[in-house]
């Protein structure tokens, strides 16, 4: 696990955007796993700007999103499909057939989840998976106690996650209680995982994820076992890392071929 500490949130977000840019430029037909939520919004804005400036071509890129609420149509204002349309899909030249998303209205959820897994495999697997992290250590919607070998499936949200996600819905009572999410095992199959976290509210969970025990109580801790995982944080989110000086040293002394 490589941990990159940037001075502030804006620089952390730009670093993640640069890593994604390098991936797409090196491999124009990259298969990207994408995340939603407030954390990646500035990253998507940076990618859109790069596209508008002629630096990025998304025409051959294939995408798979991490999760979606059960019971929400793609055009619901709080759906994650709508979120992606607003912040990325509608602003770059992604080919519609290359966009893949869990279907919140699937009539047979287990069958749909199996089909989603098959589609990821059929695309050759995910080259780079973008991730955020919840304050309880969840990645995707793999809440604490999720199997670290889990695959795409339905999950029940914790009360804390319901509360955290209530802004769009107006109140926690309106938030769906179930989601379809890639599993921890699905995420771990990605060739490169890229996690972004900013702010002091994430400091405790980042320390537990990166330097604590590998446990289903902190599903993101499974990333310690990933062969290629990059974690980008700002100073606030890095505040409780015991080895923060070493992480800075490693980043500052990268060989030129490893730099973005």
Examine the residue annotation and report whether 67 is marked as an active-site residue of this protein. Answer: yes
Write down how long the chain is: 260
**Distance separating alpha carbons of residues 160 and 177, to the nearest angstrom:** 11
Nearest CA among 62, 80, 60, 64 for reference residue 72: 80
CA distance 21 to 12: 14
Residue from 2, 11, 115, 136 carrying the catalytic annotation: 136
Tell me which DSSP letter residue 29 carries: T
Q: Distance (Å, rounded) from C-alpha 69 to C-alpha 168?
A: 13
Contact 230, 192 (CB under 8 A): yes
The DSSP bridge partners found for residue 31 are: 62
φ and ψ at residue 46, rounded to 5 degrees = -65, -40
**Residue tagged active-site, from 51, 138, 192, 226:** 138
Using an 8 Å Cβ cutoff, are 218 and 29 in contact?
no
Dist. CA 105–CA 69, nearest whole Å: 9
Q: Which of 15, 103, 127, 143 is catalytic?
A: 143
Which entry of 15, 51, 67, 117 is annotated as an active-site residue? 67
Neighbouring CB atoms inside 10 A of 255's CB total: 6
Known catalytic residue at 51:
no
How far separated are the first and last CA of the chain, in Å rounded?
Answer: 17
Tell me if residue 136 is catalytic: yes
* Residues belonging to the active site: 67, 136, 138, 143
């Amino acid at each position: 696990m490589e941990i990159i500490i940037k001075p502030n949130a804006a620089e952390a977000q730009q670093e993640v955007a640069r890593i994604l840019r390098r991936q797409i430029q090196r491999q124009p037909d990259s298969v990207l796993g994408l995340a939603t939520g407030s954390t990646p919004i500035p990253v998507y804005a940076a990618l859109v700007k790069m596209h508008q400036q002629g630096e990025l071509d998304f025409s051959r890129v294939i995408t798979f999103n991490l999760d979606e609420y059960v019971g929400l149509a793609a055009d619901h204002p709080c759906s994650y499909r709508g979120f992606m349309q607003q912040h990325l899909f509608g602003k770059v030249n992604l080919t519609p057939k290359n966009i893949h998303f869990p279907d919140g209205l699937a009539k047979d959820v287990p069958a749909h989840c199996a089909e989603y897994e098959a589609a990821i495999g059929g695309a050759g697997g995910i080259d780079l998976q973008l991730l955020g992290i919840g304050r309880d250590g969840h990645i995707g919607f793999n809440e604490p106690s999720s199997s670290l070998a889990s695959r795409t499936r339905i999950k029940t949200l914790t009360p804390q996650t319901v509360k955290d996600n209530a802004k769009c819905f107006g109140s926690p009572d309106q938030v769906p209680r179930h989601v379809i999410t890639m599993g921890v095992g699905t995420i771990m199959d990605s060739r490169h995982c890229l996690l972004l976290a900013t702010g002091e509210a994430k400091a405790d969970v980042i320390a537990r994820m990166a330097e604590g025990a590998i446990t289903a109580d902190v599903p993101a801790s499974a990333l310690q076992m990933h062969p290629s995982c990059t974690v980008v944080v700002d100073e606030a989110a890095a505040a409780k890392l015991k080895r923060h000086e070493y992480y800075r040293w490693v980043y500052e002394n990268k060989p030129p071929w490893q730099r973005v």
